[in-house]
Amino acid sequence: MIKHIFIVCISCGVVFSQDSLNGIVQYQENNKTYPLTGANVFWQNTTIGTVTDEKGTFQMERIPETDLLIISYVGFKTDTLKIKTPFISYKMIQNQDDELDEVTLTQVQKASQKSFIETQNVLKVSNEELLKAACCNLSESFETNPIIDVNFADALTGTKQIKMLGLSSPYLLISEENIPIVRGASQAYGLTFTPGTWVESIQISKGVGSVTNGFESIVGQINTELKKPSNDIPFFLNLFSSINGRYEMNTHFNKKVSEKWSTGLYIHWNKRNQKFDNNNDGFLDLPVSKQINVMNRWQHTDMDKGWVSFLSWRYMKDEKLSGTLNFNPEIDRGIKYRWGSEIKTKRLECSYKLGYVFPKKPYQSFGFQTAYSSHDQDSYYGLRTYDISQDSSYMNLIFNSIIGSTLNKFKVGLNYSFDDYVEQVDGDIFGRTDRNVGSFFEFSHDNNDNFSLITGIRLDFHNNLGRFFTPRLHLRYVPFDKFVIRLSAGSGRKAANIFAENQTLFATNRSITIQSSLGKIYGLDPEKAWNYGLGLSKSFFIRNSHQINLSADYYITNFINQVLVDLEKPREVSFYNLEGESAAKSFQIELDYYYRNFFNFRAAYKNYDVKMDYKNGFLEKPLLAKNRFFVNLGWESKTTTGGKQWRYDLTYNYVGAQRLVHNLIDRPGGFSPNYSLWNTQLTYLFSKKFEIYLGGVNIGNYKQLSPIIGSKDPFGADFDAAQVYAPIFGGMVYSGLRIKI
In whole angstroms, give the CA distance from residue 59 to residue 36. 14
Residues 703, 706, 708, CA angle at the centre, nearest 5°? Answer: 115
| Helix %, strand %, coil % of the chain (to 5) | 5, 60, 35
Smallest CA-to-CA distance from 147 within 159, 124, 165 is with 165
User: CATH 2.40.170.20 region(s) of the chain?
Assistant: 115-740
Q: What are 64-111's pLDDT values in tens digits?
A: 667 788 898 767 778 888 786 777 888 888 765 444 344 443 444 556
In the prediction, which pLDDT does 3 show?
A: 39
- Predicted TM-score of the model (pTM): 0.85
CATH number for domain 115-740, candidates 2.40.170.20, 3.40.640.10, 1.10.760.10, 2.60.40.10: 2.40.170.20
Smallest CA-to-CA distance from 323 within 708, 733, 718 is with 708
- 127's enclosing H/E stretch is helix 127-130
Q: Choose between 15 and 486: higher pLDDT.
A: 486
Rounded to a whole number, what is the distance in angstroms from the first to the last CA of the chain?
27
Residue 280 has pLDDT above 60, yes or no: yes
CB 586 within 8 A of CB 543: no
Partners of 553 in the β-ladder: 535, 588
User: CATH 2.60.40.1120 region(s) of the chain?
Assistant: 20-92
User: 173: left (phi > 0), else alpha (psi -120 to 50), else beta?
Assistant: beta
Please state the rounded mean pLDDT for residues 646-671.
88
Among the ranges 52-66, 112-126, 556-570, 584-598, which has the highest mean pLDDT value? 556-570
Residue 24 has pLDDT above 80, yes or no: yes
CB 250 within 8 A of CB 226: no
CATH number for domain 20-92, candidates 2.40.50.140, 3.30.465.10, 3.40.50.720, 2.60.40.1120: 2.60.40.1120
Among the ranges 98-102, 433-437, 444-448, which has the highest mean pLDDT value? 433-437
User: Number of C-alpha atoms within 13 angstroms, CB side, residue 500?
Assistant: 28
Please state the rounded mean pLDDT for residues 543-555.
88
How many residues are there in the chain? 741
Q: What are 286-314's pLDDT values in tens digits?
A: 999 999 999 999 999 887 888 999 999 99
